[in-house]
Structure 1
Amino acid sequence: MEQVVVSAPRSRVRYGMLALVFVNVVINYLDRSNLAVAASSLSKDLQLSSVEMGYIFSAFGWTYAILQVPGGLVADRFGPRVLYAFCLITWSLATVFQGFARGFVSLFGLRLATGAFEAPSYPINNRIVTSWFPDNERAAATAMYVSGQFIGLAFLTPVLVTIQYYAGWKGLFFITGLVGLIWGVIWYFLYRDPLEHPGVNQAELEYIEEGGGLFRGQKRGATAAKVWSAANLKLVLSGRTLWGVYLAQFAVNATLWFFLTWFPTYLVKYRGLDFIKSGYLASIPFLAACAGVLLSGFLSDNLVKKGWSVSAARKMPIIVGLILSVSIVGANYTNDTAFIIFFMAFSFFGAGMALISWVFVSLLAPRHLIGLTGGVFNFMGNLASIIVPIVIGYLAKDGDFKPALVFIGALGLVGACSYIFLVGKIERRG
């Protein structure tokens, strides 16, 4: 009698690991955006001008952007489990200390520290998704963890506003920092790489690897020390395709950083909305951005499965999203609160669609330089976190916010043109 061999069903541990990354991203953006919620009250207490607030809003980006390449190298050399725990705990401590800030210098310095300790986070996210997911699931997985920044902020912005209302801006920093400290410990005990996780079976490992997942050869070792070299840096800084993606990421992040910094102040100071009411209205664009990034990720993966070229399937949602983001300018032509929020939400929906662009790091990076390429990509994109808040501070210093919205909309158009005219064939560089 012939024996029938029944193979064990494929485990789905990768989804649990993605859920952990999702929470990391929520906390990551909680500690980036809490200053935006605190800004209107904090600026009054510390007597800070709009130009000074522009520099404080940008301080996070100075260290965050500059340290993206080193952060990518660190992500290539050290395991996500220990490195992410370290980052979570240190940036959360910096957040707690912001509650003790007494003026421009101390607050600026602590925002610099927050940006420095968060710098490796997105290169680590990309490495985790590249390790745990095959190519045909990677855009959706990227969309899922990127959506964490919007889902978290959409539902937590009213909570943050309420916390500040009752506990003040100092209490807001204390509470958000404490949440990150606790989660850093939880992450350390729960996360494992594919080859180290006790719950993953051989069927899932084979499925990931056969689909292009890169979890072998990513352990720490002597080769990791050789990642940094002039030749490797030149490789990830060369070529029209990568530069097109880098430039477009700057444009995408320009819209994102407006919402992470000036948006609540825009509603309260420049549009005259009640502080508590603004907290609830501010959540609507974040929900729209979440819908945009999820739609874009699943649409892109489905187009690949239906036979579209990888190039077309990955670029099309991003180009459409960047064009939609230009609609932010429409808020300049209405005084109706409902229409203001509509234009803001529609614009952020488009920017959300474009934020699956992290998938291009997995597609274009040399296999041994995924962390380094991710670091350069995030550095280029996060130059917006330095430039945009400062430029807005100067543009709005006389009480007129309209030029600032035109500036953001124009950058969205530049990003769309970058994908249309600069990004060519999608293929890995080595």
Structure 2
Amino acid sequence: MVTILLVGFMMINFADKAVLGLAAGPMMRELGMTASQYGAASSAFYAMFGVSAVVVGFIANSYSNRRIILIMVLVWGLAQVPIIFFASVVSVFMSRVVLGAAEGPANPIAVNSAQKWFPDDQRNLPTSLVNLGAALGVVTLAPILSLLIEAHGWRSAFVAVALLGLVWAVLWSAFGRDAPGVRPGQVPGSEGSVALDSHITRAAPPTGDRWISGIDRVPYRNIFFSGTGLSVLIAGFAVYWSIALLVSWIPLYLSGPMALDPAAAGALVVLPWVCGAVAIPAQGAVSDRLLQRGVSSRGARAGVSSGCILTAAVAIAGLTLVSATGVKLALLAIGFSVATVQISVGMTLIAEITPLRQRPAVLATTTAVTGVSGVVAPALAGRFVDAYGAGNATGYHVVFLLTAVLFLAGAVCLAVFARPVRDAARLARLGRAEHAAEPVD
């Protein structure tokens, strides 16, 4: 029930992000917004995104994730109110700043809440399902919101997402729960606590979580600068880069250099999201099955994800070499979808080497760092497109080749440096040594 609710949570999360773009045309005409003003409002969403992700992530180390999630979704709804009733250029800008700040921690906190209900060898699928919410949001909610805008005006879309958030908040209040086990702020193994991950210390599967289980804390720098931590950050940066391009520039690529009519471009832009909706849960199921059959976490998680990212790199590079429309669409769908499995894999890998109490902060910081590429990629792509002309494919192809290079770097880093069992064992020894060195009252 919790996992299903969190999938819905991420679907609404996408709708809140996308509604501005879907309503942009009529809204800009009514409010007299220039393209520069609209661009500034769109960028405003990311102004506090990473900062809030880190801050709330650390707060979530000590407070109920259930309550934090409820507060976030209520703020999402309230952030739409100024646009609905007091629409202006300024209110749109401020609304997006508040919305971005409230949505920055959403994915890592939701993933952490789901993961805590499952032993380590069963976390891949629920993590994938939660991350699947964004793709499901594209496929299901974008057409509905577009129809609402066409039939009832652009404000109706903002009303709809606000009401969706309110309905979800009621369901979460009734059925949402924090996982049983260690209470927020309580040290595993202390009196009155239940070591949530203690059952993972059995001989199988061979994952790092069985080493880190029961450790109170380790220095954050040691987590992020481990081989596993660095590979997750590098691969995640590449994947978020591609997602930012998919949202901002692929529709223009379809209607520009590929010369598809707007209706066809609007329909075909969903293709990568549909492929992602298949790839993400498939990876989770495959990785869980491999773990349960005794394959190491390095192979079942990092290896599977590395293969997916490498496939995406080849597809995106191939996209610059072919001319047939059907082949281009197929390569585009593969290149901008299969690598997204790393979002789920990265969160599972980083959780595997992180003590239970520190996971919310670590997951949130990972999202903040990898999400930086979402700020850089669209702007850099715009410079290349401007340099060669909006109707010329060359600028787009330069960006695609750069994306393929980033994918290749991410795939290699995962394959070579992601060693969660080794890193978790080393971090556990470090955590025990630091605990032993603490003075006793």
Q: TM-score range by the shorter chain?
A: 0.7 to 0.9
The residue type paired with residue 179 of structure 1 is L
Q: 1:159 to 1:360 in 2, by over 3 A?
A: same
Q: 1:84 aligns with which of 65, 69, 72?
A: 69
Aligned counterparts of 1:98 and 1:270: Cα–Cα separation in 2: 34
List runs of 5+ in structure 1 lacking aligned partners. Answer: 1-15, 197-204, 215-223
Aligned counterparts of 2:290 and 2:73: Cα–Cα separation in 1: 36
Aligned counterparts of 2:402 and 2:22: Cα–Cα separation in 1: 22
Per the TM alignment, residue 39 of structure 1 is displaced from its structure 2 partner at its CA by 4.3
Aligned residue in 1 for 2:370: 381
Contact 1:323 1:350 in 2 (8 A): no
| Residue pairs, 1:295-314, within 5 angstroms | 295-314=282-301
Contact 2:127 2:284 in 1 (8 A): yes
Aligned residue in 2 for 1:220: none
Q: 1:36 to 1:417 in 2, by over 3 A?
A: farther
Q: Please say if 1:170 is aligned against 2:155.
A: yes
**Secondary structure of the corresponding residue to residue 380 of structure 1:** helix
Q: Please say if 1:315 is aligned against 2:302.
A: yes
Contact 1:246 1:381 in 2 (8 A): yes
Q: 1:353 aligns with which of 341, 345, 353?
A: 341
Q: Please say if 1:420 is aligned against 2:415.
A: yes
The residue type paired with residue 301 of structure 1 is D
Per the TM alignment, residue 333 of structure 1 is displaced from its structure 2 partner at its CA by 4.8
Number of equivalenced pairs: 391
Bigger shift: 21-30 or 317-326?
A: 317-326
Q: Please say if 1:141 is aligned against 2:126.
A: yes
Contact 1:92 1:177 in 2 (8 A): yes
The residue type paired with residue 406 of structure 2 is L
Provide the aligned C-alpha RMSD in A.
3.0
Per the TM alignment, residue 112 of structure 1 is displaced from its structure 2 partner at its CA by 2.0
Deviation string, structure 1 residues 252-278 (Cα, Å, up to 9, x no partner): 111122223333344345645444443
Aligned counterparts of 2:197 and 2:419: Cα–Cα separation in 1: 27
Aligned residue in 2 for 1:102: 88
Q: 1:140 to 1:272 in 2, by over 3 A?
A: same
Q: 1:415 to 1:165 in 2, by over 3 A?
A: farther
Contact 1:328 1:347 in 2 (8 A): yes
The residue type paired with residue 351 of structure 1 is A
Contact 2:135 2:277 in 1 (8 A): yes
Q: 1:280 aligns with which of 267, 280, 299?
A: 267
Percent identity among equivalent residues?
Answer: 23
Deviation string, structure 1 residues 47-86 (Cα, Å, up to 9, x no partner): 544x765554443233112222112112222212221111
| Residue pairs, 1:200-211, within 5 angstroms | 210-211=199-200
Aligned residue in 1 for 2:169: 184
Contact 1:157 1:280 in 2 (8 A): no
Aligned residue in 1 for 2:431: none
Q: Please say if 1:124 is aligned against 2:112.
A: no
Per the TM alignment, residue 34 of structure 1 is displaced from its structure 2 partner at its CA by 2.4
Q: 1:146 to 1:111 in 2, by over 3 A?
A: same
The residue type paired with residue 410 of structure 1 is V
Aligned counterparts of 1:273 and 1:55: Cα–Cα separation in 2: 28
Per the TM alignment, residue 110 of structure 1 is displaced from its structure 2 partner at its CA by 2.4
Aligned counterparts of 2:196 and 2:294: Cα–Cα separation in 1: 20
Bigger shift: 37-46 or 174-183?
A: 37-46
Aligned residue in 2 for 1:217: none
Q: 1:60 aligns with which of 45, 49, 62?
A: 45
TM-score (norm 1): 0.81
Contact 2:115 2:126 in 1 (8 A): no
Deviation string, structure 1 residues 171-192 (Cα, Å, up to 9, x no partner): 3233223212322232122211
Bigger shift: 362-371 or 34-43?
A: 34-43
**Secondary structure of the corresponding residue to residue 179 of structure 2:** coil
Aligned counterparts of 2:40 and 2:323: Cα–Cα separation in 1: 28
Aligned residue in 2 for 1:10: none
The residue type paired with residue 373 of structure 2 is A
Aligned counterparts of 1:125 and 1:373: Cα–Cα separation in 2: 13
Deviation string, structure 1 residues 373-421 (Cα, Å, up to 9, x no partner): 1121111111122112222233333414513333333322222122134
Q: 1:235 to 1:137 in 2, by over 3 A?
A: same
Contact 2:351 2:359 in 1 (8 A): yes
Contact 1:72 1:374 in 2 (8 A): yes
Aligned counterparts of 1:372 and 1:381: Cα–Cα separation in 2: 14
Per the TM alignment, residue 209 of structure 1 is displaced from its structure 2 partner at its CA by 5.4
Contact 2:223 2:353 in 1 (8 A): no
The residue type paired with residue 249 of structure 2 is W
Aligned residue in 2 for 1:218: none
Q: 1:94 to 1:234 in 2, by over 3 A?
A: same
The residue type paired with residue 232 of structure 2 is V
Q: 1:27 to 1:284 in 2, by over 3 A?
A: same
Q: Which has the higher contact order (CA 8 A, sep 6+)?
A: 1
